Structure formats: C-alpha cells, structure tokens
Amino acid sequence: MPPYPTSAEAAAFEWTEADRAKVADRVETQVVGAPADVAGWLRELKGAFGADEVMVTTITHDHAARVRSHELLAKAWN
C-alpha cells in the first residue's frame, strides 16, 4: 500500500465529483478531534453496540505522529 499523502499533498489535491462520491459516506463514520473528545465518542459507540473492544486506525503520513496520536488517545481513554 502506498504511503498516505502529506498534509500539503492532501491540501493540494484537486477533487473530482467521482472522488467526492467515493468518500462521502466515509466522512460520517470518522471520529476526529481532541483526544478526550475522541475517547468520549468511542465510549458512546462501544456502549451503544455492547462492544468488548474498539479498534482505532489513525491515518497520517508520518509514523511518529500516528504513534503519538495513539498514545494521546490511550491516555484519554484511561
């Protein structure tokens, strides 16, 4: 799988209507925000579905930023 684009590459991307249609339904299922907000939303989802666990995927170009995102979410979760 190719790496995710950098922030600059993503901002410069010229979206077609077909591109927008491909991702329109995905935007509604993403949880984005400060760690405490994301943890709260995930707790709500976990409770609503009676889940025993949750899985998180952080999409970012930089691996260190992805790891830090998971660290911050883990701290907010606990």
**Which string of DSSP letters, residue by residue, matches 16-35?**
-HHHHHHHHHHHTT---S-H
Q: According to the model, what pLDDT value does residue 12 have?
A: 95
Q: What pLDDT, in 10s, does the model give residues 28-60?
A: 788 899 999 999 999 999 999 999 999 999 988
**What percentage of the chain has pLDDT greater than the value 90?**
62
Q: According to the model, what pLDDT value does residue 1 have?
A: 56
Q: According to the model, what pLDDT value does residue 25 have?
A: 80
**What percentage of the chain has pLDDT greater than the value 70?**
97
Q: What is the pTM of this model?
A: 0.74
